[in-house]
A and B are shown apart, each in its own frame.
Chain A
Amino acid sequence: MATPSAVVTDVAVDDNGISFAADVDQPVDLFFDDQRIGSFWTVRDTTASTATLGARGRRTWAWPRSLRPHLDGTTELRLVVHATGEQVCAQRVTLGDGQGEISVVDARGNPLSLDKSQRLVRLFASRSIEQLTPLLDSMSSVIAALQEGGVEPFVAYGTLLGAVREKTFIGHDSDADLGYVSRRDHPADVMIESFALQRRLTEQGFLVTRYSGAAFKVIVTEPDGTLRGLDVFAGFLRDGELYLMGEVGTPYRSEWVFPLTEVELAGRTFPAPAVPERLLEAMYGPHWRVPDPAFKFETPIGVTRRLNGWFRGTRHRRESTWDPYWGQARALTKTTPSAFIRWVHRSEPKGTAVVDVGCGYGSDVLFVARRGRRAYGLDYVPRSYAPMAGRAEKMGFPATFLPTNLTELRSTYAATAELRSLRGPKVMTARHLLDSTSTLGRRNLLRMARTVLADGGRLYVQALVAPDPAGDPPGLRPVDIDAFVAEAERYGARVVLRREGRVDDVKLSPDNLSTRPGAPARNPDDPEADPSSAAITDGPGPETVQPAHLCRLVLQWN
């Protein structure tokens, strides 16, 4: 066994992270006072520091982005070797402004910890069995619904690992996982089956969000308001290989899955594969019996390529950008409309409905709705517009919000069918959608617009076409507008206005064009640089200037 000096020494803590000397790679647990915050491997999860200390490598573990907002104050920071329980560091540290005690809790005061994806979540370790009862009940209900749907579900991944190793949930885990091996053996058929299972659960009242063609999450609300995810992963056997979303692809025998057996979990019995140890080895490797709180999957690239190719592509930038972005409290506080929507409002006659695709906050939807226009807001992150939807309902404004994912064909069809029945004049708007979605998302926007606007109306677009001199806003990348226009024309659209660069947007309408140079002020989160947008006014409004890195387009289909 390693001696303490060989594990972690000379620990220094600052606002960037924890640096130390280490030459043995193993997991250590990080505590603030008595609260476990997370775990990391001393070499794998750290970077080599520029400063060196003698002959030993000096490493730095950078504070994860999710934890940084909490790092303001003082705390007793401790590092403990996970395997031995040996404490290798205990020191009083001061971070940020240093006011008060560092507190890593949610809005209700519940302790939070980092999961293996470095998200701050409520781990099972901080929960009593009573608090887990709703999750256990939901697992039983979901298993029953899946069985009725014709598949044979079992506990999988961390939940199976906890059941086999400890007969309960793993303390450093936060979600429960179910899996099933379909009796179908083609990826497309497996997805059709997964769609049907999702529909069955939704009809039974469960809240479900889809992660890929072969995985979805059932959201369970615990008594204290904590939202807990119950993941359902599809798998299939083909040519002697088992593929199980989202990490498994390995030679496998059907008799290792069927007939299902049972395992004990938190005092209850749940179905498990015929030979659970085989699946655990496929998921976690040969050392699955050794606890590793900072475990990272080392899925072979060929398996990842297959699973990506068959099943994924419907969550473009959601995990990387938009979920963290909308997870910030401040992101939901914007209430001012954009200069873009003012321009659309000025350009369109009264009574024309507005469909805002990729509405984000929904403040543009509210802007036109409060002026009497029928308004729709579509976005694939429903919590982005939730406050505005509530406000519109309270005020009685004619605004409707539809969760819509342009990278899912089915979601696009569903929204298109609903909007197609919207009678009377209408326009669609897509402000910073082209520059945040994928090629498929742009194509599905055109499919939707072609149908919804077949009888008249325009699609108004604004996108980033060159790097923003002040840095691209979160989630936006400049888009090739020529390629988009060419694609739009292939979908039968005609460009009635195209303006790039510094142009006055006050009179920028298809019928009345003018240009005027100017230098806008900057709002760091708003690519339009509209200093006057705080004031909500009817009529022409204050003059604003479109910056050089933006492009506006107006498309028509008739």
Chain B
Amino acid sequence: MELNPRRLISSPQRLRERLDAMEAEIQECRQLNLRVAELADAVAELLVPLADSDDPRVAEIIERYRLGVSTEGPRPVKPTPPSETA
């Protein structure tokens, strides 16, 4: 990355271009606030209440999602039917 101030001052056009690019990048960062807020709102107000369901499809989706987030540690053990020989 070019950071030599002397070179930047000696090339005002380049300095201007970099300032324009930096302003655009800062604005991009600011715009993330609205996206984050909307996502957080949708998760808290839409997905969490939907997940509060006895529907087995919902349970399956949640489990699939959880496994996709992290597979570290022991896998959940599904209860097995009692064996006749046990």
* Chain A residues packing against B (C-beta within 8 Å): 186-189, 191-192, 195-196, 199, 213, 305-306, 308-311, 313-314, 408-410, 413-414, 417
Contact A195 B31 (CB under 8 A): no
How far is the CB of A349 from the nearest CB of chain B, in Å? Answer: 29
Q: CB < 8 Å: which of A199, A311, A409 contacts B45?
A: A199
Complexed CA–CA distance, A524 and B42 (Å)? 41
B35 (CB) vs chain A CBs: closest residue: A409
* Chain B residues packing against A (C-beta within 8 Å): 23, 26-27, 29-31, 33-42, 45-46
Contact (A188, B27) CB under 8 Å given A199-B45, A410-B41, A410-B42 = no
Contact A188 B37 (CB under 8 A): yes
Contact A417 B46 (CB under 8 A): yes
Complexed CA–CA distance, A214 and B84 (Å)? 64
Contact A408 B30 (CB under 8 A): no
Question: Other CB < 8 Å A-B pairs besides A311-B33, A409-B38, 5 of them?
Answer: A187-B30, A188-B34, A191-B37, A309-B30, A311-B34
How far is the CB of B47 from the nearest CB of chain A, in Å? Answer: 9
Complexed CA–CA distance, A195 and B45 (Å)? 10
Contact (A313, B46) CB under 8 Å given A188-B40, A409-B39 = no
- Work out how many contacts link A and B, with CB atoms closer than 8 A: 59
Complexed CA–CA distance, A199 and B46 (Å)? 12
Contact A192 B40 (CB under 8 A): yes
Q: Which 8 A-B pairs have the closest CB atoms?
A: A309-B30, A191-B37, A409-B38, A187-B33, A188-B33, A188-B37, A188-B36, A195-B41
B39 (CB) vs chain A CBs: closest residue: A409
Q: CB < 8 Å: which of B26, B31, B39 contacts A313?
A: B31
19 of the cross-chain contacts (CB-CB < 8 Å) are A187-B33, A188-B33, A188-B37, A195-B37, A195-B38, A195-B41, A195-B45, A196-B41, A213-B37, A213-B38, A305-B23, A308-B30, A309-B29, A309-B33, A310-B30, A310-B33, A313-B31, A313-B34, A314-B34
Complexed CA–CA distance, A441 and B41 (Å)? 19
How far is the CB of A123 from the nearest CB of chain B, in Å? Answer: 33
B34 (CB) vs chain A CBs: closest residue: A213
How far is the CB of B5 from the nearest CB of chain A, in Å? Answer: 23
Q: CB < 8 Å: which of B26, B37, B41 contacts A309?
A: B26
Contact A191 B46 (CB under 8 A): no
Complexed CA–CA distance, A306 and B30 (Å)? 7
Complexed CA–CA distance, A538 and B40 (Å)? 47
Count chain B CB atoms within 10 A of each CB in A187, A306, A408 and give the residue with the most.
A187
CB-CB < 8 A to A191: which residues of B?
33-34, 37-38
Complexed CA–CA distance, A187 and B36 (Å)? 10
Contact B38 A408 (CB under 8 A): yes
How far is the CB of B38 from the nearest CB of chain A, in Å? Answer: 4
Complexed CA–CA distance, A414 and B23 (Å)? 33
CB-CB < 8 A to B34: which residues of A?
188, 191, 213, 310-311, 313-314
CB-CB < 8 A to A306: which residues of B?
30
Contact B31 A192 (CB under 8 A): no
A187 (CB) vs chain B CBs: closest residue: B33
Complexed CA–CA distance, A199 and B23 (Å)? 34
Complexed CA–CA distance, A10 and B27 (Å)? 48
A192 (CB) vs chain B CBs: closest residue: B37
How far is the CB of B65 from the nearest CB of chain A, in Å? Answer: 16
How far is the CB of A36 from the nearest CB of chain B, in Å? Answer: 39
How far is the CB of B55 from the nearest CB of chain A, in Å? Answer: 13
Contact B31 A309 (CB under 8 A): yes
B27 (CB) vs chain A CBs: closest residue: A309
A190 (CB) vs chain B CBs: closest residue: B37
Complexed CA–CA distance, A313 and B27 (Å)? 12
Complexed CA–CA distance, A213 and B41 (Å)? 12
Complexed CA–CA distance, A212 and B80 (Å)? 53
